[in-house]
C-alpha cells in the first residue's frame, strides 16, 4: 500500500515539474546552453567480472552508435589488455583512468580512508601510463575510486599529482551533499579556487547503480538526504527490474534537459549491470530515452573540449 502511494506520488511530482517548465532561470548557469545537454554513458570498469559485461555493453553501443567513456582500473586492464584493446578500439569510445587499483584518493564517509601519499601517486600515474601504452592515444581523464561529495576541493596534494600526471579533467564529484545518494546534477567547474584553474571537474550524477540494487550488500543505510532535493529519484526499495532502473534514470535525464544542464551522466559499473541485467535491456531503454528527449550523445572528452576549449 505504502509502496503504491509512493510511486503514484513520484509520478505526480514529475508531471508537475514538466508542466511547470522548471528550466526558467536555470539555463543561464550552464556554460553553453546553445549546444544543448550532453548525455554521457560512462562505465567504471574495475573488476574481473567487467570483461564479460563489457563485451555485451560494447555490442549495444556499436549497434546503436552511442559513444561512451570507459573509466578503467589499471590492474583490470593489465589482466586482459589485448581483449580490452580490441573491445574499446572503436572511435565511439573514450578510455580514461579509474586509478591503478581502486584505492581512495581522499576520505569518503561511506567508503573509507585515503591512502598514503606514495600510493596516491601510483594510483594517479600508473593507470594513465598503461592506458596510453595499450591504446596508443592520450588518456586525459581520471575518475577516482568511489568519488566524494566535494570532489577534490581543498585536496591540493591530489590536484598537484593530477596536474603533474597531465590529466585535463577529473570526475570525482559523485555523491550528493553530506555523502548522500543520489549525486545531484552538478555542472562542470575548474579548481581555480585551489590554484588549479587548468584542472576541470566533470561530475557524475544519480545513483551508483550498484547501490540501487544492493550489490555491495550494504543493506539499509543512511544514504539519502532529508529533506531530499530529488525525492522523485529515490525509490522506496531496491530496484528489481531493468525497467525499474530505466525509470529512475529518466528522472535525471529529464531534469538535466529541463534545467539546461551541460551534461548528465549516470554512474554505472559493468559487473553490476551484467549481474542484474545480462541482456543490457536497461541500456537500450535509457539510450532510447536520451535520444527521444533530445540529449546529445557524447563522451567526457567531448564535454571537456566544449567547456574548456
Task: Give residues in contact with Zn ion (CB under 5 A).
Answer: 44, 46, 145
205-208 vs 263-264, strand pairing mode: unpaired
Cβ neighbours around 12 below 10 Å, total: 11
Q: Give the residue with the Cβ less far from Zn ion, 104 or 307.
A: 104
Alpha-carbon distance values, 196 to 70, 225, 295 (Å): 25, 30, 30
169-173 vs 141-148, strand pairing mode: parallel
Three-state secondary structure of 127-161 = HHHHHHHHHCCCCCEEEEEEEECCCCCCCHHHHHH
**Residue 200: which region, alpha, beta or left (left: phi > 0; alpha: psi -120 to 50)?**
beta
Shortest reach from residue 145's CB to Zn ion, in Å: 5
Shortest reach from residue 21's CB to Zn ion, in Å: 36
Asked if residues 93 and 61 have their Cβ atoms less than 8 Å apart, the reply is yes
Shortest reach from residue 94's CB to Zn ion, in Å: 17
Shortest reach from residue 40's CB to Zn ion, in Å: 16
Q: Which residue is nearest to Zn ion (CB)?
A: 44
Long-range pairs of 12-21 with CB within 8 A, sequence gap ≥ 24: 13/231, 13/232, 14/232, 14/251, 14/254, 17/232, 17/254, 17/255, 17/258, 18/254, 18/258, 21/258
Shortest reach from residue 223's CB to Zn ion, in Å: 17
Cβ neighbours around 306 below 10 Å, total: 17
Q: Give the residue with the Cβ less far from Zn ion, 46 or 123.
A: 46
Q: Give the residue with the Cβ less far from Zn ion, 145 or 295.
A: 145
Q: Give the residue with the Cβ less far from Zn ion, 57 or 145.
A: 145
Q: Give the residue with the Cβ less far from Zn ion, 124 or 307.
A: 124
Q: Give the residue with the Cβ less far from Zn ion, 64 or 223.
A: 223
Shortest reach from residue 76's CB to Zn ion, in Å: 10
Q: Provide the 8-state DSSP code for 31.
A: S
Q: Give the residue with the Cβ less far from Zn ion, 46 or 277.
A: 46
User: Where do we find the cell 594513465?
Assistant: 128
Amino acid at each position: 500500500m505504502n509502496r503504491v502511494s509512493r510511486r503514484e506520488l513520484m509520478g505526480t511530482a514529475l508531471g508537475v515539474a514538466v508542466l511547470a517548465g522548471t528550466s526558467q532561470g536555470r539555463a543561464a548557469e550552464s556554460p553553453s546552453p546553445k549546444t544543448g545537454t550532453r548525455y554521457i554513458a560512462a562505465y567504471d570498469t574495475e573488476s574481473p567480472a567487467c570483461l564479460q559485461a563489457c563485451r555485451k555493453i560494447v555490442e549495444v553501443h556499436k549497434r546503436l552508435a552511442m559513444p561512451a567513456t570507459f573509466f578503467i582500473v589499471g590492474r583490470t586492464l593489465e589482466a586482459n589488455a589485448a581483449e580490452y584493446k580490441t573491445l574499446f578500439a572503436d572511435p565511439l569510445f573514450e578510455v580514461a583512468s579509474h586509478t591503478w587499483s581502486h584505492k581512495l584518493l581522499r576520505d569518503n564517509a561511506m567508503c573509507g580512508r585515503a591512502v598514503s601519499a606514495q600510493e596516491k601517486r601510483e594510483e594517479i600515474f600508473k593507470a594513465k601510463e598503461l592506458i596510453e601504452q595499450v591504446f596508443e592515444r592520450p588518456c586525459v581523464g581520471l575518475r577516482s575510486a568511489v568519488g566524494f561529495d566535494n570532489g577534490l576541493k581543498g585536496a591540493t596534494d591530489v590536484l598537484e599529482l593530477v596536474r603533474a600526471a597531465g590529466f585535463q579533467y577529473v570526475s570525482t564529484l559523485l555523491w550528493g551533499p553530506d555523502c548522500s545518494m543520489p549525486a545531484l546534477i552538478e555542472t562542470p567547474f575548474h579548481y581555480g579556487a585551489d590554484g588549479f584553474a587548468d584542472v576541470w571537474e566533470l561530475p557524475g550524477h544519480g545513483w551508483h547503480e550498484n547501490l540501487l540494487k544492493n550489490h555491495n550488500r550494504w543493506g539499509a543505510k543512511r544514504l539519502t538526504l532529508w529533506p531530499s532535493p530529488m525525492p522523485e529519484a529515490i525509490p522506496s526499495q531496491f530496484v528489481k527490474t531493468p525497467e525499474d532502473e530505466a525509470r529512475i534514470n529518466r528522472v535525471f535525464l529529464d531534469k538535466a534537459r529541463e534545467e539546461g544542464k551541460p551534461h548528465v551522466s549516470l554512474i554505472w559499473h559493468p559487473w553490476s549491470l551484467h549481474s542484474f541485467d545480462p541482456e543490457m535491456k536497461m541500456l537500450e531503454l535509457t539510450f532510447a530515452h536520451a535520444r527521444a528527449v533530445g540529449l546529445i550523445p557524447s563522451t567526457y572528452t567531448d564535454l571537456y573540449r566544449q567547456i574548456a576549449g
